[in-house]
Structure 1
């Protein structure tokens, strides 16, 4: 399992994930993967599920994009939340691997799933989503700073991208990450360490589109 995990980290192609897809969730559990829980927990800190309108409390429907959704771990986490919060979210997912998406689709959690390459322009219109979550994607061999502009384009203004980044991957090129965030007309509002797998933590960035 460890060998397969390392192989996919080096080769993040759809072919590599095709070989791993059926074992991905079991292997991730053995690794103690928890990046999805960290980004959803952070999302809850920044987004309120209700607003007051003329003295009445009404639900806000949050249109959330799970960028690099894999088999749907973030979807699973949203589904585990209280019904009052879960009912306020429309969850969309995109991933490079059709085989991973096929597993996510069977969960009936996502409103829509698409094959996407985060390194290329996404098919969604500008400012489609009120938040974007990204867990386990910004690692060597997968996606880096070159994907930020494509993700940010489909995020609404004054809204947040919340993403995990492997600590070493971020620290080695921190200047490039900050520059790209600024070039995308965004503000880095929080940088913190949160659980990622077993006793390993990763950087979680909260990026606001200005």
Structure 2
């Protein structure tokens, strides 16, 4: 491990179950922004926020896998609101709530049905949630359910797992239900990162619900 690599990063890449996520992020919540975001020059949330804004995204937005709220901070710079948050970790949401960015925060397991009515949100965003060991492609069905017709989704998917874990096939199966699909690959980390994963890429799947 590089000397500057965040202590929880290896564990995050090794997650296998929702229970693993709950344990890791309960321990990591208070130091996540300093231990990971700053130390690793993590920029994926900025990439997602920029893409969402460029494609005309607006609120209400649900930030899924919101963590400590770094994606909402980036969205707020583009005057996008209101933003709600869901995450499997209450401890991460507690940190996010203290930033006073979100309208509503609630715990949710994306491998299960979210406690949200159909067609609630005009926008869905996610940074760092759809990857191996976190949330798989089947969760996109429920994400689509809670999106309004015409709503914009902007979801980062680890490029290494995009095809291997079935995300490409899942999005292909959704084609009759979506429009304006874009799949750029963008860096997860900035130029100052010395992490072992510093060259990793994410597919930013951006599309509208038909």
- Above 0.5 in TM-score? yes
> 1:147 is paired with a residue of what secondary structure?
helix
Specify which structure has the higher proportion of strand.
1
Q: Which residue of 1 aligns with 2:48?
A: 39
In structure 2, what is the Cα distance between the partners aligned to 1:187 and 1:118? 23
Aligned pairs (5 A) from 1:120-139? 120-139=112-131
Q: Which residue of 2 aligns with 1:69?
A: 66
Aligned pairs (5 A) from 1:57-96? 62-81=59-78, 86=79, 89-96=81-88
Match of 1:178 among 165, 171, 177: 171
> 1:163 is paired with a residue of what secondary structure?
strand
Superposed CA RMSD = 1.9
Bigger Rg, structure 1 or 2: 1
Give deviations 1:149-174, integer Å, cap 9, x for gaps. Answer: 11111001111110111111003235
- Assess if the C-alpha contact under 8 Å between 1:170 and 1:177 holds in 2: no
Q: Which residue of 2 aligns with 1:14?
A: 22
Q: Which residue of 2 aligns with 1:106?
A: 98
In structure 2, what is the Cα distance between the partners aligned to 1:104 and 1:180? 34
Give deviations 1:89-119, integer Å, cap 9, x for gaps. Answer: 1000000000000000001110000000111
Task: Answer with 191-200 or 131-140: which moved more.
Answer: 191-200
CA shift, 1:207, in A, is 2.2
Matched, 1:149 2:141: yes
Runs of 5+ in structure 2 lacking a partner?
192-198
- Assess if the C-alpha contact under 8 Å between 1:188 and 1:205 holds in 2: no
Could you say if the C-alpha distance between residues 65 and 174 of structure 1 is closer, same or farther in structure 2, counting changes exceeding 3 Å? closer
Runs of 5+ in structure 1 lacking a partner?
49-60
Aligned residues: 192
